[in-house]
């Protein structure tokens, strides 16, 4: 449904026009006056009951009926008119897709979401991902959730240090990856009053460059773990392993700081993750195998990897290209974009107002250039005791200071994810 109260009058008119083009009737224009709190408010019954599945079905019906390829016997002027109509329909579909994507992001911020894998990532090192992951796992564990924290920073594994291990555990995730143990559960370190841990060992040569099939096997086993939540601590950068681990999660958190390189790279990480998500549609293990085509793959890869001169490289231009060349596949691509809603956390923050400004800038640019909604979860302040916490690494920070501002800020972030902790 579309909540008209969230939009201006002009925005509602654009939504109504888009619905009229796609559904080929004027039901979207109908309004009802209702009295609420001694004031009259307009209701939009059609918009308020509209579902994304109805939009998709209407779009497909338009393509089937009006695509120029189905009317080659018509005069040129009629074919041109059909092309113009389909172009308007494509733009309307993109607009409604963006609105439903925004509504989905709002729901994720306000209501509990399904799934159990939480990925913590960021393109830049030194933003505090491991401290965040360890203490996130600790709070989930203390809330009664069966939680395991996994170190997937394979080339720089140190998560075990922040969870009280003074040295690398005897068995690590490396042993599962290289089949020295058969079960992922054999690598779990269990300690009383702390979340379970699957540590890494960056001292092993080549462990950061695991082959594709080993990565897919690892992801599948992580998904099947018999726990309530899995927290994935990812490494810095945008290599394919990191992006694929990030994309396998149900909750995707990107950590930044107020430093300009950090928040610029946070946006770049989201862009790379979305591009990877779209190109992975055509991999052998993709769940969309029956609906994709070689032509669609060529369009997507060309627009992502080889933008034309003067092309700003926005996702809208990709959608336009798909709509022109393979309109039947536009819903597939649009759904992948709509279902990608990363979360943003500003860490080590000394000015919450500045954090909100940076977060809103990232959200605005992501809307304009990537056609996605970024959900800002909040900021974690830069406290002196956090900066000094590395000298007390044998205890997670929230274990030692359970009532600290840091613990409160982290609990609020968990709540905004829709998790009870």
Query: Among 224, 265, 223, which Cα is nearest to 129's?
Result: 265
Average pLDDT over residues 226-253: 95
Average pLDDT over residues 148-177: 91
**SS3 assignment, position 119:** strand
Residue 105 pLDDT class (50, 70, 90 cuts) = low
* Residues 117-416, CATH architecture: 3-Layer(aba) Sandwich (3.40)
Q: What is the pLDDT of residues 260-314, one digit of tens each?
A: 999 999 999 999 999 999 998 887 666 654 455 677 888 888 888 765 544 566 8
* Mean predicted lDDT score pLDDT of the chain: 85
Most confident listed range (41-50, 125-134, 151-160, 237-246): 237-246
Instruction: Enter the tokens of residue 37.
Output: 């709190």
**SS3 assignment, position 347:** strand
CA 350 to chain centre: 26
Q: What is the CA radius of gyration of the chain?
A: 24
- Cβ atoms of 74 and 82 within 8 Å: the answer is yes
**Which pLDDT value is given to residue 265?**
95
* Triad 170, 172, 176: Cα angle to 5°: 125
Percent over 70 (pLDDT), the chain: 87
**Which pLDDT value is given to residue 29?**
77
pLDDT at 113 over 50: no
Residue 385 vs residue 168, higher pLDDT:
168
**Which pLDDT value is given to residue 99?**
81
**Which pLDDT value is given to residue 253?**
98
pLDDT at 161 over 70: yes
- Full strand arrangement of the beta sheet holding 117-121: 188-189, 196-198, 147-152, 229-234, 117-121, 251-256, 343-349, 375-381
Q: What is the pLDDT of residues 312-358, one digit of tens each?
A: 668 888 888 888 887 877 888 888 888 899 999 999 999 999 999 99
Q: Where in the chain is the domain with CATH 3.40.50.300?
A: 117-416
**Which pLDDT value is given to residue 130?**
92
**Which pLDDT value is given to residue 276?**
94
**Which pLDDT value is given to residue 292?**
57
**Which pLDDT value is given to residue 186?**
95
């Amino acid at each position: 449904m579309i909540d008209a109260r969230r939009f201006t009058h002009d925005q509602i008119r654009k939504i109504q026009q888009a619905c009229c083009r796609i559904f080929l009737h004027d039901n979207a224009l109908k309004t009802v006056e209702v009295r609420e709190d001694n004031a009259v408010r307009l209701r939009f019954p059609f918009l308020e009951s509209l579902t994304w599945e109805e939009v998709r079905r209407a779009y497909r019906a338009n393509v089937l009926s009006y695509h120029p390829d189905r009317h080659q016997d018509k005069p040129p002027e009629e074919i041109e008119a059909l092309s113009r109509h389909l172009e308007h329909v494509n733009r309307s579909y993109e607009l409604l897709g963006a609105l439903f994507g925004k509504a989905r992001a709002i729901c994720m911020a306000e209501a509990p979401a399904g799934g159990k894998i939480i990925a913590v990532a960021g393109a830049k090192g030194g933003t505090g991902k491991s401290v965040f992951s360890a203490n996130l796992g600790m709070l989930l564990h203390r809330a009664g959730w069966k939680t395991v924290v996994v170190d997937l920073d394979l080339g720089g594994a140190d998560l075990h240090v922040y969870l009280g291990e003074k040295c690398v555990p005897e068995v690590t995730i490396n042993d599962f990856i290289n089949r020295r143990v058969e079960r992922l559960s054999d690598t779990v370190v269990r300690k009383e009053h702390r979340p379970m841990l699957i540590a890494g060992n960056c001292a092993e040569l080549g462990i950061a460059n695991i082959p594709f099939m080993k990565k897919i096997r690892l992801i599948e086993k992580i998904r099947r773990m018999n726990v309530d939540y899995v927290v994935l601590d990812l490494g810095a950068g945008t290599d394919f392993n990191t992006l694929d681990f990030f994309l396998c999660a149900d909750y995707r958190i990107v950590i930044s700081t107020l430093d300009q390189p950090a928040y610029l790279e946070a946006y770049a990480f989201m862009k790379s993750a979305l591009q990877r998500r779209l190109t992975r549609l055509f991999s052998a293990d993709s769940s969309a195998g029956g609906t994709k085509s070689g032509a669609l793959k060529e369009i997507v890869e060309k627009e992502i990897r080889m933008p034309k001169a003067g092309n700003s490289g926005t996702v809208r231009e990709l959608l336009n290209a798909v709509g022109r060349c393979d309109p039947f596949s536009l819903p597939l691509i649009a759904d992948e974009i709509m279902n990608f809603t990363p979360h943003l956390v500003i860490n080590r923050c000394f000015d919450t107002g500045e954090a909100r400004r940076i977060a809103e800038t990232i959200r605005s640019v992501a809307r304009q250039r990537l056609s996605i909604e970024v959900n800002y979860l909040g900021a974690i302040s830069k406290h002196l005791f956090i900066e000094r916490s590395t000298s007390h690494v044998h205890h997670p920070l929230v274990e030692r200071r359970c009532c600290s501002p840091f613990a409160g800020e982290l609990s609020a972030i968990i709540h905004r994810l829709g998790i009870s902790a």
